[in-house]
Structures are given as C-alpha cells and as structure tokens.
Structure 1
Amino acid sequence: MNICVGGELDGQKIEREGRLLKASEIDPSFETQYYKQIFNRDNVNYQFWLPIGSDLHDMSNKVLEILRFPKN
C-alpha cells in the first residue's frame, strides 16, 4: 500500500525504495521524516510510512482502521 500515516503526507501513497522517507523530498516546506513499517494481515504484507518518533501503538491502530476499511 505504501500509505503515509500521520505527518504532512498523511493519506498519500508514496512508492519509494528504501526504509526512510523525508517529506521535504516531496515539498521542501515539510519536515516530517518517515520509516517504512510492514504489517501482516491474513498472511498478506502491507507497507506503510510512519512518522519517526510517533507512538507505534497509535499508528498501528490507524493502520488497522485503514486495513479494515480500504478505500478504493
């Protein structure tokens, strides 16, 4: 999925190699830095970008909401 959860890029799909993403690469005025986190649901891996320093529990709850109700 490669969806950003939180920060300035919240909700945007960013296809990028690597484990780190600086929002300033998308827009120089942005400051959030993201790391790629992989979540497994029903034996399918989903990749999300989460803000560095964010609470993993809160971010996991947001990701689970996205996985429960995918937006097409």
Structure 2
Amino acid sequence: MPQPAKRSRITIGDTTITYLPDGFGAHNPDVLFLGVDWTTRPGHLQDGQLLLSFGSFLIRAGDRRVLVDLT
C-alpha cells in the first residue's frame, strides 16, 4: 500500500541532499496522468487515489546550504 515519503538523505562526495517532507495528499490519477492504464501498475493507488508527497530539498555542499522548495 502506498505511503507518503519519509525524510531521506543521499551523500555524493562532500555534498549531501536531504528530502524534507512536509505533507501529502491523495489525488485522482486520471486527472494528473491522462490515459495511463493503472491496472498495469499494481500497488501505486490507494483506494483508487494516487498518494503524492510534498516537500523540499536541503542541499549541503561544504559550508553552503541551499533550500529548494517549489511549492
């Protein structure tokens, strides 16, 4: 069953990217992705809805910090 994303982190060299979730919502998949046959993608829907997570990314590179939030 789909779940909202959790905080996660990846490090490449001296750069670390952290995903900071701040919410999620259930959406009608047919509105967002027209023509997709969801029967060929089992496990992606919960009660017929697509669960999407929202959040931002914290990028740390050396002594710099950048917060990327597109919402």
What TM-score does the superposition give when structure 1 sets the normalisation length? 0.32
Instruction: Determine which structure has more spread, i.e. the larger CA radius of gyration.
Output: 2
What TM-score does the superposition give when structure 2 sets the normalisation length? 0.32
Instruction: Identify which of structures 1 and 2 has the higher relative contact order when contacts are C-alpha pairs closer than 8 Å and 6+ apart.
Output: 2
Q: Which has the higher helix share?
A: 1
Q: Which has the higher strand share?
A: 2
